[in-house]
Chains A and B, each alone.
Chain A
Amino acid sequence: MEEVDKIIIESLRNLECDIGVKIKNLKQFDADMVTGAVSSCLEAILHSSFPKKLPPSMSARLKLASNMAEQIKDLGFREDMGYQSILYYNEEEVRRVLIFLIERLPRETIKTVSVEQIGYVSRIVKTLEDNIKESLSKTWVPSCFLRQGVRETSQGYIVNSLGDSCSLRTEKLDIPDSRTQNEELKYYWIHNVPDVTKQCSHRKLIPSLLYKDSEFPEDFDLKNVIRKSEIVSLNTIETDLNIPISSSEKIEKTSVDIINIDKDIETRAEQSKIDKLSEELENKKSQYILLQDKVKTKEALLKELIRTKNEEQNYLIETLAKVKLKTKTQTVLSKEENLAKLNNMIEKANDRLAELAKQWHEIQTPLLEEYKCLKDSLTSEESKYQEQKEKLENFKETEIKLNENIKEKKDLSQNLTQQYKQINRKNNRAMYTRRILEIISNIRKQNNDIQKVLKDTREIQKEIKNLTGQVDRSFTLADELIFYDAKNDETARRSYKLLAALRDEFNIILKTLEDLGVVERECRNLEEQIEIEKSKEVSVKLERVISDLRQIQKETDMMKKPSS
C-alpha cells in the first residue's frame, strides 16, 4: 500500500495541491487535506473551481462535502460514497476515492507541458506559425486601407504589405552640442539651425538619427547623381553658346556705324576744331594734374619740416630744464654744510633701508614657510583627492560589474529553475517507472510465494490422498484376510466385526477432522469480516453524525432567532 500512497501523493503534488514534505502516506492525512486533494483533482478533471478548505460552519461543510461526493459519483465511482467519506477520514475509503480520481485525471495537461519548444530556430518557427495563424484567422483588408501596411491587433501587429517602406538612407544632421565653447558656432546654432525634424524629410529622420551618414554610402541613389550631372553638362553647353551670340551682335553694330559715316563727313570740319580744342584741354588737364602732384609733394615736405621743428623745440625745452636743475645742484653742492647734511641724509636713508630690509626679512620668512607648508598640504590633499577619485571610479566600475553579475545570476537562476522544473517532471516519469518496476518485482515475489504455498498444499493433498489410499488398501487387505479366515474361525469373525466397527469409527473421525477444518476456515473468515467491520468504525461514525446533527440544529436555531 505504501507504493500506492507514494504515487497518489506525488500526483497530488503535481496538481499543485498543498501537501507537506513530511507526509509520506495516506495515514497522515486529515479532513482538510482530503478535501484539498479531492477538490484539486475535481478541478483538473471538470475545469471548474472548488474550495480548497473546509468552511468553519458545519452546514456549509456538509453541503460542500455532499456536493463533492455527488460529483465523484457522477464521474462513475461505483462504491459507497457520501459526505462522510470526505468529512470523516477513513484511510481505505480515501485511498479508493483518490485512486479513482487520479485515474480519471486528464492526460493532455501532462502532454502539453512535456513538449516545450527550446532553441532559437524552433521559437522563430513557432512565432511564424502563430503569426500566420492569426493573419489567416482575420478577415482580409486591402492594404490601401492600412496605415503603413501594418494592422494592429490585440496581440501585436500583422504586416500586410511593406510597400510603404523606404530604403535606408541617411542625411547629415546638424545637432547642437552644448559641450563646445566655440561662440560663433553657438551663434549659428541658436539663430540659424532649424529643428532636427525640419532638417530632412520625414521618412529619412529616423535612419539619420540612428546611423551616421558615413556608415552607409549614398551610392544607391543613382538617379539623383545622374540627374545632377545632366544639369551640369547642360549649363556648360549654354555658356559655350553664349560667346558666338555676342560676337554677332558686334557685327550688327559695326554695320550701323557704316551707315552713319556720311553724316560724320559733314560734321568733320567742326569735328577737327573740336578735336584740337579737346587736345588742348587734355594738355592743360595733364599739366594741372602734374602741378597738383607737385603741390602735394611740397605740402608733405612742409609737414615733415614742421614736425622736425616741433621735435627739436621739445628737445630744447627738456635740455633747458636739465641745465637749470644741474645749475641748482651745483649751487647747493658748492657749500660744505649742505654736503655734510646730504651725506648724513644718505647714511640715514641707507640705515633705514637696511632696517626695512631686515624687517621685511623677518616678516617674509614665516610667511614663506607658511606658504611652503600650505603648498605641501595642498599637494598632499590633491594626491589624496586623486586617490579617492580613483577609488570612486573603481567603485563605480565594480558597481557596474556587480550589476551585470546580478543580472547574469538572475538569468541563470531563472534558467536553472526552469531546468529544475523540467528535470522534476522527468524525474517524475523515472520515479513512476522505477516504482512500477519495483511493484512488478514485488508481485513476482508474491507470485512465487503463492506458487510455493500452492505446491505445499498440493503435496499435502497428495499425502492425504496417499494416506487415504493406504488406509483403504490396508483395510481391504485386512478385510479380505479376515473374511477369508472368518468362514472357519469364530475369533476371526468377531475380529472382522470389530474391524468394520473400527472402520466406521475412523471414518467418523476423519469426517469430524474435515468438519473441524471447515469450521476453522469459517472462523477465520468471520474474524476477518469482524475486523473489516471494526475498521469501518460504524459506532464512532454514528456518534459523529449525531454530533453533527446537533450542531446543525444549533446553527439553524441560531439562524432562526435573529429572523424571529
Chain B
Amino acid sequence: MKIFENYKSSLSISRNITLITDDIFKKIIENCFSFLTEKKEIHSTSNLYKSKPDVTKEFYAALLAVTAEFARKNVSKEEIIKYLTSNCGLPSDRADLYAQNFEKERTKIEISLLNIGSSLPHVSDIKWKIDHIVKSSEMDSSEGPLFRICLIAEQYDNENENKALKNIHFTCNSVELLDLIYKLKDALRHCNNLTHRVF
C-alpha cells in the first residue's frame, strides 16, 4: 500500500462533511466511475463545488488516480476499505459505498487499463486478387500467379483519437503464400494443442 501514500492527504479531504456532503460524495464517485469506464461524466462538475473548488478538484483527481491504481494492482475489496478507513480516515459508510461501486465496475476499469499500450494491429478482414503476368517486353514467362493481398486491420489512430481501419498491402507468389498458410496453420494447431492437452 506504499504507492497510495501520495493520495492519502488528498483523499482525506472527504472527511470534511460540510465541504463534501454525502450527496456530493456520491455524485463524485458516480462521475469518477462513469468517466473511467469510457463514458461521460453524469453530473456537471460545476455544481459539485461549494466554497472551495480547488479542494474538490484535488479530491476528484486523487479519487480518479487511486481508482485506476486499485484496478491496476488488483486490490481486494477488504483492503480498499481498510486503506480508506484506517489510512485516509474516511467514515466507514463512505468507504463501503466506494468499494461497492468499485467492485461493480472493476472489470470495466480493467478493460480500460487493458486498452492502454502499444499493440500490433488486429486483423479483422482480408481482400485479395490474383494477377498473372502473361508477357511483357522483358520476359515472356512468369513464375505462376501473383497474389495481391490486403489485410484490413484495426489500429488506434493517435491523431483523431479513435479506432481506425488500416490496410496492409503485400504481394507474394504461391510459394510464399503457402508458407504463410502453413505458419497460420501451425499457430492454429498450437492453440488446439493447448486446449486439448491431456494431463
Contact = CB atoms under 8 A, between A and B. Distances in A.
B57 A162 contact: no
A387 interface: no
B171 interface: no
Interface stretch (B91-99, B139-147, B150-158, B178-186): B150-158
Nearest to A150: B111
Contact of A163 (B58, B154, B159): B154
Interface string A201-221: 111011101100000000001
A164 B113 CA distance: 12
Contacts of A484: none
A178 B68 CA distance: 22
A179 B154 contact: no
A132 B117 CA distance: 22
B21 interface: no
A129 B10 CA distance: 43
A206 B112 contact: yes
Nearest to A162: B119
A193 B159 CA distance: 25
A152 interface: yes
Given A161-B122, A176-B58, A148 B117 contact: no
Interface string B114-138: 1111111110100000000000000
Contacts of A269: none
A160 B119 CA distance: 13
B9 interface: yes
**In the complex, which range does the number of interface residues on chain B fall in?**
35 or more
A173 interface: yes
Interface stretch (A80-88, A139-147, A523-531): A139-147
Interface string B23-40: 000000000000110100
A167 B163 contact: no
Interface in A174-212: 175-179, 186, 189-191, 193, 195-197, 201-203, 205-207, 209-210
Contacts of B161: 166, 201-203
B103 interface: no
A189 B55 CA distance: 9
Contact of A148 (B52, B57, B112): B112
A3 to B, nearest CB: 33
A378 B155 CA distance: 70
A164 B45 contact: no
B60 interface: yes
B170 interface: no
A163 B52 contact: no
Nearest to B62: A175
B195 interface: yes
A147 B35 CA distance: 15
B42 interface: no
Contact of A178 (B55, B155, B195): B55
Question: Which of A115, A160, A203 has the largest count of B CB atoms less than 10 A from its CB?
Answer: A203
Of the listed residues B10, B159, B191, B195, the one surrounded by the most CB atoms of chain A closer than 10 A to its CB is B195
B72 interface: yes
A157 B115 CA distance: 13
A196 B61 contact: yes
B175 interface: no
B55 A175 contact: no
A128 B194 CA distance: 8
Interface in B51-86: 52-55, 57-58, 60-62, 64-65, 68-69, 72
Given A189-B54, A196-B57, A149 B122 contact: yes
Contact of B116 (A129, A161, A166, A190): A166
A162 B122 contact: yes
Contacts of B62: 175
Nearest to B40: A202
B184 to A, nearest CB: 16
B115 A149 contact: yes
A207 B116 contact: yes
Interface in A377-399: none
B65 A164 contact: no
A50 to B, nearest CB: 31
A156 interface: yes
Q: In the complex, which of the residues B57, B69, B110, B197 has the most CB atoms of chain A within 10 Å of its own CB atom?
A: B57
A168 interface: yes
A203 B115 CA distance: 9
A165 interface: yes
Given A190-B54, A203-B161, A209 B61 contact: yes
Contacts of B114: 148, 150, 159, 162, 165
Contact of A179 (B9, B57, B113): B9
A164 B57 contact: no
Given A164-B156, A196-B64, A207-B116, A176 B54 contact: yes
Contacts of A189: 53-54, 57
B149 interface: no
B111 A157 contact: yes
B124 A178 contact: no
B65 A163 contact: no
B159 to A, nearest CB: 7
Given A148-B111, A157-B110, A179-B9, 9 more contacts: A143-B154, A149-B154, A157-B107, A163-B119, A163-B163, A190-B54, A191-B53, A196-B60, A209-B65
Q: A-B pairs with the 6 shortest C-beta distances?
A: A163-B154, A161-B122, A163-B122, A162-B119, A189-B54, A196-B61
Interface of B: 9-10, 13, 35-36, 38, 41, 45, 52-55, 57-58, 60-62, 64-65, 68-69, 72, 107, 110-122, 124, 153-156, 158-159, 161, 163, 191, 194-195, 197, 199
21 contacts: A128-B194, A129-B197, A157-B107, A159-B114, A163-B121, A163-B124, A163-B153, A164-B156, A165-B115, A165-B119, A175-B57, A186-B54, A193-B57, A195-B45, A195-B60, A201-B161, A203-B115, A206-B112, A206-B116, A210-B69, A223-B158
Interface of A: 115, 125, 128-129, 132-133, 136, 142-144, 147-150, 152, 156-157, 159-169, 173, 175-179, 186, 189-191, 193, 195-197, 201-203, 205-207, 209-210, 221, 223
